Structure 1
């Protein structure tokens, strides 16, 4: 539906609130993105880098794990399909756990929102990097390889409550723009990883190539996790709210801070 008034299940109270705070005309206005401030924002680029590291690990599972299970660990096609799904299943479960835990911490005021984001970003980006570091040490042992990859994939799911949520924290009125910028950078691993692995396999033996491949992924995960600890933030930026849309801003502020008031 293009407007709230067109939705068949919206209540009269909800519609009155939206119209009184924004109005149909305001809803049609285009926000002017403060591009210079966005591109010079350290917290924004910190989240972008963490998104890059998160996706690098994600594409390892998505594009190369099935090949690794077949060519190095020699699993059958059927077993490959089942085992390749394990990190995703654990990741989906822990993603839900992390989101619920992050919300509980926020409501109880257990920690600042910035530390909240840093905690789950560390669990979702840095910790999987540590487990990938151990994969080459497992050699061709299928059991320990799968344990390490499954645990890495499980923790990886927690990252959505880190950098991803931080975009909304930093600039609630421009979160879509920030995520669009970030997705451009985070899509690079999608084509860089297969190309890099192909070159490694040309130059070195399979075991050496895969070891270097996992070490590289581990380093990227650890470094991008560390930089978010140092530079990341969830504090709203001075340019992050368009004052023309006070209604949206007030609703967002209420949901963000009411637990601490």
Structure 2
């Protein structure tokens, strides 16, 4: 027992030294021109490319599919001119398109839990780099797979989903050894913001590429760029800062002295039974389900909606589909600042902040979706509502995206995997069901889609407002070392 008490005392002692480490003179610590910020920027670019490979199909599908001929006939459109052989058109029904859209989510839904576990044991650098390479490689194969039929595209998207889900989960493990506590928010926000900014860049460029070079070039350009980023990743990134051959000694010492304390605590087994009985965790999971349902439909079907309702060319479609993602990126960053401001000034309690931003992220996109159906009489009003639908989803940054950290900081990575699975399930069901609705009832399909989306958001908002918590749960608190 005396030995255990001594061990516990040693566990508590490093905190003062951590404060001293965090107060190193700024002139001795590399700032923005450093390897840790370079890693954040590289991950930012990787996330942009991942969203490029995830989102671009939603716009290229408009160019790939022949909407004038009935489905089920020859793969190539008879109306396509002979000079357009390298820009083929296929006769895929809306139901098939929905399956193709959602196939990538099937793969992504299988990865968060196992990858979250193995990325702690094995090299996160190798896991992220290898998965990113396979995502880029099979993205390159999509034009060839499309010539073979829709099954080939579905298989490529499924493998891409497995690879992208791996990257999205394992990249968080990289920051365990690379992000000093006082810079963790900045570094992670820089890297993760690529997910929000990516769709804007992709949809903006995809329309011009499709019109000028043909839709297959979208896959060749973004696929080759992903392979090049993979090469940079393996050259520049190391699992541990102390192993990096080109980093300055001062930066190594700064990072290692800042993060050393998080490895001192002993590993505890996952309280699975307690997690399954945790109402706050179920609330976060259900809200993630509803948010992803809305977000996936808006992301994947926005170009299809613009094409069917506004009848614009593919360049204008790309621009109109891209702008909402830019405003979502801005809104997400501003939400992070607003959350810190409200919490640091004690203006609102943490749970009130979480409920406020979760409510806004669930209800406002649904509200503006209904407004889009009934109040968008002009191109400008439609553009405004489309921007508001996507941008207001960025409020989730201060709501459900952080709530798991409030209730169980020790198991945050694993819980993010759990909520990612439920979120992907919502996106999978939402995108697949939307394809079926559009195929069966083209005239009123968007009304049914948006009203169903709104109903799910309202129900989950009420559930969240009643049962959400923001304090550490009993099953997530540190246990006495003597019990291990």
- TM-score exceeds 0.5: yes
Q: Is the 2:406–2:471 contact (alpha carbons within 8 Å) kept by the matching residues of 1?
A: yes
Structure 1 position 61, deviation (Å):
1.8
Q: In 2, Cα distance between the equivalents of 1:62 and 1:169?
A: 28
- For structure 1, list consecutive stretches of 5 or more residues without a partner in the other structure: 246-261
Match of 1:75, SS? coil
Structure 1 position 138, deviation (Å):
3.3
Correspondence for 1:228 among 456, 459, 464? 464
| Match runs of 1:190-229 below 5 Å | 190-204=427-441, 206-229=442-465
Query: Which residue is equivalent to 1:85?
Result: 322
Correspondence for 1:54 among 273, 287, 291? 291
Structure 1 position 146, deviation (Å):
2.2
Q: In 2, Cα distance between the equivalents of 1:142 and 1:223?
A: 32
Structure 1 position 10, deviation (Å):
3.5
Structure 1 position 145, deviation (Å):
2.5
Structure 1 position 241, deviation (Å):
3.3
| Match runs of 1:164-183 below 5 Å | 164-183=401-420
Match of 1:216, SS? helix
Q: Is the 1:66–1:81 contact (alpha carbons within 8 Å) kept by the matching residues of 2?
A: yes
Q: In 2, Cα distance between the equivalents of 1:17 and 1:91?
A: 33
Structure 1 position 16, deviation (Å):
4.6
How many residues were matched structurally?
A: 239
- Which protein is bigger by CA-based radius of gyration? 2
Query: Which residue is equivalent to 2:115?
Result: none
Give the TM-score normalised by structure 1. Answer: 0.83
Q: Is the 1:52–1:186 contact (alpha carbons within 8 Å) kept by the matching residues of 2?
A: yes
Q: Once structures 1 and 2 are overlaid, which stretch shifts more, 104-113 or 189-198?
A: 189-198
Match status 1:136 vs 2:364: no
Give the TM-score normalised by structure 2. Answer: 0.46
Match of 1:187, SS? helix
Alignment root-mean-square deviation, CA = 2.3
Report the CA distance shift for 1:227/1:4 in structure 2 as closer, same or farther (over 3 A): farther
Q: Is the 1:4–1:15 contact (alpha carbons within 8 Å) kept by the matching residues of 2?
A: yes
Query: Which residue is equivalent to 1:185?
Result: 422
Q: Is the 1:135–1:149 contact (alpha carbons within 8 Å) kept by the matching residues of 2?
A: yes
Correspondence for 2:253 among 11, 30, 33? 11
Give CA deviations for 1:60-99 in whole Å, capped at 9, x if unaligned: 1211111010012212100110111111111110111111
Q: Is the 1:135–1:148 contact (alpha carbons within 8 Å) kept by the matching residues of 2?
A: yes
Give CA deviations for 1:28-68 in whole Å, capped at 9, x if unaligned: x5431100111111111111111111111111121111101
Q: In 2, Cα distance between the equivalents of 1:17 and 1:92?
A: 30
Structure 1 position 140, deviation (Å):
6.2
Q: In 2, Cα distance between the equivalents of 1:18 and 1:195?
A: 43
